[in-house]
């Protein structure tokens, strides 16, 4: 407990010193982080290989490239993001200065996930630094090589007091959560998310929770199945299925189920060759506990493809299940592995009803040549995000907020949304001490005349053209004279 108090206390003292508030300092730290990623690329790739059997090309594409893109965007846009935001004013505040000031929250905690152990720490860290906060970083202990590398590298490049790294497992995280933070961002499962939120509530600390869930994928009969299944196969089996926004299960008409299976098999052959196990592009399950959990989901299921496994290397082949019952074990929890159940429905109405009976997912996917059908599914369901005619790609567009809803999480980040998540939108109104007569509308004693004048000045609408603006300006001057005459 004392160690955690010391770490957080040092970070708070450093934040209170004010040195991380200037844009120059934030930019300096972001440039240092960029330099770290570029200079230590080989070490980062080696850690990802050791933790998840990620090939160099896949690891770079999935983890490093996203971090570099986020850094480039933050450094380019930081001055405009941090600038005061003027707001519209009413007649009684026309002469005043009104704006929103985005200020840092203070000391924030970022708890990363093991499935993408580098990018899921670095992306929110970039937003928190850009917003001017001190950040305590807690990488996942399950991806131990990447966690240790982050702990070793960050102090070499960033301010050690403002951006400390805490390693360890459940005991260390539990102790850390007893400390007071000004915001907590957690990526992981719903069970731990509830623990994080309960701990945060003791200090009234706001949270961003990225929790995942069972993301459905509906395939319409009016669809190019070859293209759809290639895209679904890519998103489902990348990182061995250990992706929070991977399509968790497919819903389709019974008449196309066999064609879906055949097209997925063709895409797997295209991506990984005859021997998936020897493909450098196919990852492994992170540990034996998760390996056994995933295999347990296959019990009693009809395996249309795959199913092979090797516990020694934590290998599970890309697997497709058909004729899956909605009540089966594999449909009870997020799979988070290379197993794709296919459920059949007779119409899009039935698909929408099925999706809505379950917890709100982190992502939802719809494939159809009919854009109206896609938009209907969007309008009649709820999810953290949606991609039509592809999977996962909304995650990579930084102008879109990434986050869940309901059981799949709360809050969002990426790009400017990260900056806003770690900022307080402070309302600022600056007046002068002149034209005191206008204030008599709000001073006692009250009267019906004052109410009538207030209604006129605050509720009257004018057109937005030059004439309207001239009238508003004229009324602003008249207001002071009238109120002074009437109420003096």
Peptide bond into 328 cis (omega under 30): no
Radius of gyration over every alpha carbon of the chain, rounded to an integer in angstroms? 27
Residues involved in catalysis: 210, 244
Evaluated on CA atoms 152, 156, 158, 164, the torsion sign reads: positive
pLDDT digits (tens, 9 = 90+) for 390-438: 999 999 999 999 999 999 999 999 999 999 999 999 999 999 998 888 7
* Orientation of helix 225-237 relative to helix 257-272, angle to 10°: 60
CA gap 55, 64 in Å, rounded: 13
Token code pair at residue 303: 């395996």
* Residue with token string 């003791």: 202
* Residue with token string 């895209």: 231
What number of other Cβ atoms are within 10 A of residue 468's Cβ? 12
pLDDT digits (tens, 9 = 90+) for 97-129: 999 999 999 999 999 999 999 999 999 999 999
pLDDT digits (tens, 9 = 90+) for 326-336: 999 999 999 99
Percent of the chain with pLDDT over 90: 87
User: What count of residues does the chain have?
Assistant: 488
For residue 337, how many C-alpha atoms fall within 13 Å in the half-sphere facing its CB? 31
Long-range Cβ contact pairs of 375-381 (< 8 A, separation 24 or more): 376/348, 376/352, 377/218, 377/348, 377/351, 377/352, 380/352, 380/356, 381/352, 381/355, 381/356
pTM: 0.93
* Residue with token string 């040195």: 19
Contact (Cβ atoms closer than 8 angstroms) between residue 322 and residue 257: yes
């Amino acid at each position: 407990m004392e160690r955690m108090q010391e770490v957080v206390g040092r970070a708070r003292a450093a934040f209170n010193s004010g040195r991380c508030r200037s844009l120059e300092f934030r930019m300096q730290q972001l440039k240092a982080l960029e330099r770290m990623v570029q200079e230590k690329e080989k070490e980062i790739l080696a850690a990802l290989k050791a933790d998840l059997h990620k090939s160099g090309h896949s690891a770079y594409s999935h983890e490093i490239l996203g971090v570099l893109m986020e850094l480039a965007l933050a450094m380019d846009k930081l001055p405009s993001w941090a600038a005061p935001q003027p707001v519209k004013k009413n007649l009684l505040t026309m002469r005043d200065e009104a704006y929103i000031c985005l200020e840092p929250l203070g000391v924030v905690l970022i708890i990363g996930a093991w499935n993408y152990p580098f990018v899921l720490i670095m992306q929110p860290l970039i937003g928190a630094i850009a917003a001017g906060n001190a950040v305590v970083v807690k990488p996942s202990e399950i991806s131990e090589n990447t966690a240790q590398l982050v702990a070793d590298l960050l102090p070499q490049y960033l301010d050690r007091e403002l951006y400390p790294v805490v390693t360890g497992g459940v005991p260390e995280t539990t102790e850390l959560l007893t400390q007071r933070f000004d915001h907590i961002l957690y990526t992981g499962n719903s069970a731990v998310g509830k623990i994080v939120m309960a701990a945060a509530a003791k200090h009234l600390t706001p949270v961003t929770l990225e929790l995942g869930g069972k993301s459905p994928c509906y395939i319409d009969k009016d669809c190019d199945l070859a293209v759809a299944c290639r895209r679904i196969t890519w998103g489902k089996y990348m990182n061995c299925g250990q992706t929070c926004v991977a399509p968790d299960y497919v819903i389709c008409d019974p008449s196309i189920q066999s064609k879906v299976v055949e097209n997925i098999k063709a895409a797997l052959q295209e991506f990984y060759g005859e021997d998936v196990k020897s493909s450098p592009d196919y990852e492994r399950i992170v540990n034996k506990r998760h390996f056994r959990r995933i295999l347990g989901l296959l019990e009693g299921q009809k395996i249309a493809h795959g199913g092979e496994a090797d516990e020694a290397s934590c290998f599970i082949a890309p697997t497709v299940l058909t004729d899956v019952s909605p009540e089966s074990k594999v449909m009870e929890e997020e799979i988070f592995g290379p197993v794709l159940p296919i459920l059949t429905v007779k119409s899009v109405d039935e698909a929408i009803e099925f999706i809505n009976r379950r917890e709100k997912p982190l992502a939802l996917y719809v494939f159809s040549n009919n854009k109206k059908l896609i938009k209907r599914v969007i309008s009649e369901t709820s999810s953290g995000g949606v991609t039509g005619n592809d999977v996962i790609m909304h995650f990579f567009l930084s102008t879109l907020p990434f986050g869940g809803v309901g059981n799949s999480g709360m809050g969002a980040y990426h790009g400017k949304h990260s900056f806003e998540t770690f900022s307080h939108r402070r309302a600022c109104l600056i007046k002068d001490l002149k034209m005191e007569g206008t204030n008599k509308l709000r001073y006692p004693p009250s009267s019906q005349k004052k109410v009538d004048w207030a209604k006129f000045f605050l509720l009257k609408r004018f057109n937005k053209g030059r004439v309207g603006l001239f009238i508003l300006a004229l009324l602003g001057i008249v207001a002071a004279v009238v109120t002074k005459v009437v109420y003096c």
